[in-house]
Copies of this chain bind each other. A is one copy, B any other.
């Protein structure tokens, strides 16, 4: 089910090189500096309820594909109740839809490696496999903390609202479990005027920090206070999920006026988000938190699905994303500051060679994040390396991160990325663009070294 040579180049000599490189890193610890696992898992270490709840219902990669071929959300128990076994059978019945996709690769990896399944999921095997996984989930060895250890994770980060009290992170720190689970400061709920509940969130931020978030300075101070709190609880990074990469660097009085307009329900939301990116960049200069920018998704494309089923159900569609003009105000402000670091992600692959690699290959503050979301795949990783390496090299990239809420997929995702990087390096070696000696030094950097370096995770916080 999992071929030892999977994802390695077809050419036999190149494949042998890829194997040798992979042997160096196959067992390297997982550094996961950006993801969406639930802090409850780490703080409370609960059992996962059932196979459908673990593999199907919460995974928008999986549900969108099923829906795209006519499965209803109802049949998946989304927006309604459904018997987990019935959901699992629907999943099994449509498992062929995933042929050729990374989801299939991650799922097969987890089924085989974690649960010992050796047959392909299908209507015939569905029930037995449901039972096997269900039985395993009742075993303490399949609880989150045990999986963390089993997966050889060195550090994992979550993504958290400024309003979060980080209780689960503190519970982990106070426990005798040795896992390292760090928060990430994601201020969208209190920085994006179009976020649901924005105004209430602003007030809550004021209460939490004892500042007057009705004023521009109070609002900025509140962020500084929460960032310090996150920092004290191990955070090394912030994350920003804007629709575009637009930044602005308005005079303080204009920014202050804009904030007042926004609070009054007027004001240009896009301009406010743009200004906030530059404000957050200045805060990063001061407090050292690494800034991550994840722009370009047009969220909730179908209004009816959004209204009835909610967010994150596969109806977030990428669009064209400009970086070169959009980032100019921020980069002119702090882009050459040696204390600043920003990691750029994209859903618009046309920007890899055209904008992102040239930017990261010039500005000392910029690093390129790994292929994101739809592009975290064999072909996606190959395109990323092929279109960025010649201009930005390897050291201007931030290594791999899994960006997932699907805990069981984490080993598979890192394994796929490592195999793809070894395949890419092996191709450079075969075509004499790189010595095998250099490739052997680069492989561990790509596996986790660059991620540790990019996110300041080299030593315990």
Contact = CB atoms under 8 A, between A and B. Distances in A.
Interface stretch (A2-10, A38-46, A193-201): A2-10
A186 to B, nearest CB: 23
A174 to B, nearest CB: 38
A67 to B, nearest CB: 6
A196 B380 CA distance: 42
A432 B324 contact: no
B375 A379 contact: no
Contacts of A375: 353
A386 interface: yes
B355 A349 contact: no
Nearest to A427: B10
A98 interface: yes
B100 A430 contact: no
A354 interface: yes
Given A99-B394, A338-B70, A328 B301 contact: yes
A442 B99 contact: yes
Interface in A383-436: 386-387, 389-396, 427-428, 430-434
Copies of this chain held together in the complex: 3
Nearest to A358: B317
Interface residues of A, number: 88
A319 B359 CA distance: 11
A97 B445 CA distance: 13
Contact of A10 (B8, B11, B105): B11
A316 B65 CA distance: 35
A69 interface: yes
Contacts of A278: none
A135 interface: no
A128 interface: no
A318 B355 contact: yes
B6 A432 contact: yes
Nearest to A387: B379
Given A319-B324, A335-B302, A354 B362 contact: no
Interface of A: 3, 5-14, 64-65, 67-70, 96-102, 105, 298, 301-305, 314-320, 322, 324-325, 328, 331-332, 335-336, 338, 347-350, 353-355, 357-364, 366, 374-375, 377-380, 386-387, 389-396, 427-428, 430-434, 438, 442
